[in-house]
Structure formats: C-alpha cells, structure tokens
Amino acid sequence: MVRRTSLDQAECPVARSLDAIGDWWSLLIVRDAFDGVRRFNEFQRGLGVAKNMLSARLRALVAAGVLETVPAADGGPYREYVLTAKGRDLFPVIVALRQWGETHSFTPGEAHSELVDRATGRPLARLEIRSDGGAALAPEDTVVVKTG
C-alpha cells in the first residue's frame, strides 16, 4: 500500500488544505454535516463507508478542527459531530464542487440533487471569483505570489 505523504508543511495553501480535508470520504462527511447529519450511524448509513474508515476520517476531521464532538442533542449517551467555524468555512468549497459536478458530471436531463435557497426554493447563483473591487476574475486574471 502506498503511504500518504503529509502536506502539512507545504508553502501552498491548496496543498495544506488537501492535507486536512482532501480525501473524498472527508469531503463527503463535510457535505453530509452541512445537510444536518450529526451521528456516526447516520454518516455510516448515508455514505455506506466501512465503520473503521469512517471512524478514522471523523477522528482526522476532529483533529484538524473541522468537526467537533458535542453531547447528543436529545440528551442521549452518544456524542454528535458538528461543524466548527473552520468547518463551516468549507461551505463555498462544497458549493463549488457541487456546481462543477452539476455542470460536468451529468448528461442533460439526468436526475441529480440540487442545492437551493431554503427561503425561495430557487437554485443558487453560480459562484464567481471577484476582485476586492467586485470585478469578476478568470484564472488568467490572477497570479500566485509568495508572502512573508
């Protein structure tokens, strides 16, 4: 089995982000947490992932500060997983992946899920990258620079 290389010391913020949440199970766990899933058995049932794999991913997300465990809302003996502020900051990432998938992963007319505004029931506007002045930016309008 190939050993995973840690990117936690990389100079690139994308690499460090992937170190924390870059495997597909972790992103699906975060997606489900945004959808209100809180308990281990709910994650396991919804994702169909092996319990040992789920346990490892949940531990890693808690260690990374993306999720935290809290007492069960119903007062039961179990702990629940909730997104931290750091985890909630992943919302635009999940929306961007969803919108990319809606555009590129389905044939026209093929059934799929859709994220909508709870208040209006309407689909979300496409995410756009904008300058601090509000202008829409394309990849060719940006450049990576080193800081510090």
Q: What is the mean pLDDT of residues 10-24?
A: 82
Q: Determine contact, residues 34/93, Cβ cutoff 8 Å.
A: no
Task: Indicate the pLDDT class of residue 23, thresholds 50, 70 and 90.
Answer: confident
* Class of CATH domain 13-112+127-141: mainly alpha
Domain range list for the chain: 13-112+127-141
Task: Indicate the pLDDT class of residue 1, thresholds 50, 70 and 90.
Answer: low
Alpha-carbon Rg for the chain, nearest whole angstrom, is 18
Query: For residue 138, what pLDDT is reported?
Result: 96
Q: What is the mean pLDDT of residues 40-59?
A: 96
Query: For residue 13, what pLDDT is reported?
Result: 85
Query: For residue 57, what pLDDT is reported?
Result: 95
Query: For residue 18, what pLDDT is reported?
Result: 83
- Could you tell me the pTM of the whole model? 0.88
Q: Nearest to residue 115, comparing CAs of 128, 126, 130?
A: 126
Q: What is the mean pLDDT of residues 99-109?
A: 93
